[in-house]
Structure 1
Amino acid sequence: MNFLLKLLENYEISLNESSYNKLNNFIELIINYPVNLTAIKEFELAAKYLVLDSIYPFLKYTNLKNDTNFLDIGTGGGIPGIPLSIIFPFINFTLLDSIEKKIKAVNFFSNELKLKNINTVNERVEIFSKQNISTYDYATAKAVSRSDILLEYAAPLLKIGGFLFLYKGPTYISDEKKYLEKAIKKIYFEIIEEFHYNVFEKERYFIILKKIGETPSSFPRKIGMALKKPLGGI
């Protein structure tokens, strides 16, 4: 049995043949891509930590609607945006990254996999936000920045009632949550759920936040300010 198929079955994930084949092919593409996009170069590790780690919490903890708009902030080599676009083919995905070579790679993967529900953008999130206020129903980011900083990036882009999904590691409760709790009061979000789970030996948190009010007009701030003076403090 193929490793990816067995892996998904172990996590009680059942996909149609087309989705499964595309995920399998994506792994081969990203680990063999000539530009270094990930430190993971072994198929089995990529299946675990690039694919399973991306899709598992969405399949287990969310109920996304079709014909909606989903933004992946800082997509890198297409993680988690490409795996998510494969398992949710009726959602429109925008994969955003400020680094041109990464967007070129994502375009290559998307074309090779014949994904019709992906749009890519090579731009800073602060600039992209000004042109796309209240555009998205969902947003996520994986391995990009601290929770309160990601919240600031996503806030102007999400519609009221939209959701932000954050993937976080084992130190979320002890190191990051306090910053996030300060930030949500300033830009009108609430924490809906915090799920704790494991992907093999890796401890994970999956946080779901909902936008409950208009983002103040002072956002997005100038480039770099979210990092320099984060909403949650230093």
Structure 2
Amino acid sequence: MMFSFESFEPSLLSKCKRLIELMISSPHNLTSVRIFERAVTVHLEDVLIPFTNAMLTGSCVDIGSGGGIPGLVLAAVFPKSSWLLLDSIGKKTQEIERFAREMELSNVTVKTARAEEFALEERESFDSAFLRAVARCDVSMELAAPLVKIGGSIFLYKGPGWNEEKRFASVAEERLGLRLSQEKEYCLSDGSARFLVVYEKEVETPREFPRRVGMASKSPLGGSK
């Protein structure tokens, strides 16, 4: 049974479906899912189900945006939010810019940069940060926390392995000034489990974070497996 998108404005949702078409047809292999209906489940349902009947405003950054998900999807259905989509690979950011033009999104900008380096320019500049399929939770938290304002939120999209992965989060929470705010579990129409994990930034992240490029993954705050 397909998820119902009834809570989202149809004209805005149509932009999201256009994104799926663009991703599938892109020569840069931005999604491994080549069937439209399946891509709607894997990408649109995953991003939108936890925001059903919700509101999103303010300044948002999508870290490691890849093909533009979740940033372009959420920018489309929440036009009062403003977005910066960040990725370190130029071919991907060029495609994201093209997708945003095709979708006629005026609330999106795109930048090619590593999150560790971008944080030196835009520290504590965003109300919210989003990461999907980027890295383990503690690595993602280190990349995101310096960019988010005190009182802001970090949203991590996670799969069915979250209950095992979250054991790596506690040290990162403490050192980065974060607090676990919400773990929202939901299912896609194919029955697969998903989680949207939300952290609130309570205090300023120490200036030592993020560490230099690659260190968050090489020596994660939560320790090795």
- TM-score interval (norm. to shorter): over 0.9
The Cα shift of 1:59 comes to 2.6
Q: For residue 22 of structure 2, what is the aligned residue in structure 1?
A: 29
Which residue identity does 1:87 align to in structure 2? V
For residues 195 and 16 of structure 1, do their structure 2 counterparts lie closer, same or farther at Cα, with a shift above 3 Å needed? closer
Listed as ranges, the matches of 1:203-214 within 5 Å are 203-214=193-204
The match for 2:140 among 150, 174, 186 is 150
The Cα shift of 1:131 comes to 0.3
Whichever structure has more helix as a proportion of its residues is: 1
> Normalization by structure 1: what TM-score?
0.91
What is the aligned length?
223
Q: For residue 3 of structure 1, what is the aligned residue in structure 2?
A: none
87-96 vs 193-202, greater mean Cα deviation: 193-202
Which residue identity does 2:166 align to in structure 1? K
Q: For residue 182 of structure 2, what is the aligned residue in structure 1?
A: 193
146-155 vs 21-30, greater mean Cα deviation: 21-30
Percent identity between the aligned chains?
39
Which residue identity does 2:99 align to in structure 1? F
Q: For residue 79 of structure 2, what is the aligned residue in structure 1?
A: 89
The match for 2:111 among 121, 131, 138 is 121
Note the residue ranges of structure 2 that are not aligned, 5 or more in a row.
Answer: none
190-199 vs 12-21, greater mean Cα deviation: 12-21
177-186 vs 144-153, greater mean Cα deviation: 177-186
Extract structure 1 runs of 4+ deviating beyond 3 A. none
Supply the distance in 1 between the matched residues of 2:34 and 2:82 (Cα, whole angstroms). Answer: 29
The answer as to whether partners of 1:8 and 1:14 remain within 8 angstroms in 2 is no
The Cα shift of 1:224 comes to 0.7
Q: For residue 219 of structure 2, what is the aligned residue in structure 1?
A: 229
3-state SS, counterpart of residue 51 of structure 1 = helix
Check if 1:59 corresponds to 2:31. no
> Normalization by structure 2: what TM-score?
0.95
Q: Deviations over 1:71-105 (max 9, x none)?
A: 10000010111111111111001100000110011
Q: Deviations over 1:104-154 (max 9, x none)?
A: 110110111111000101001100011001000001110110000000000
Which has the higher relative contact order, 1 or 2, with Cα contacts under 8 A spaced 6 or more apart? 2
Q: Deviations over 1:43-91 (max 9, x none)?
A: 001111111111111235x543x3x100100000101111111111110
Q: For residue 17 of structure 1, what is the aligned residue in structure 2?
A: 10
Supply the distance in 2 between the matched residues of 1:8 and 1:16 (Cα, whole angstroms). Answer: 15
Supply the distance in 2 between the matched residues of 1:96 and 1:144 (Cα, whole angstroms). Answer: 12
Check if 1:102 corresponds to 2:101. no
Supply the distance in 1 between the matched residues of 2:55 and 2:22 (Cα, whole angstroms). Answer: 29
Note the residue ranges of structure 1 that are not aligned, 5 or more in a row.
Answer: 1-5
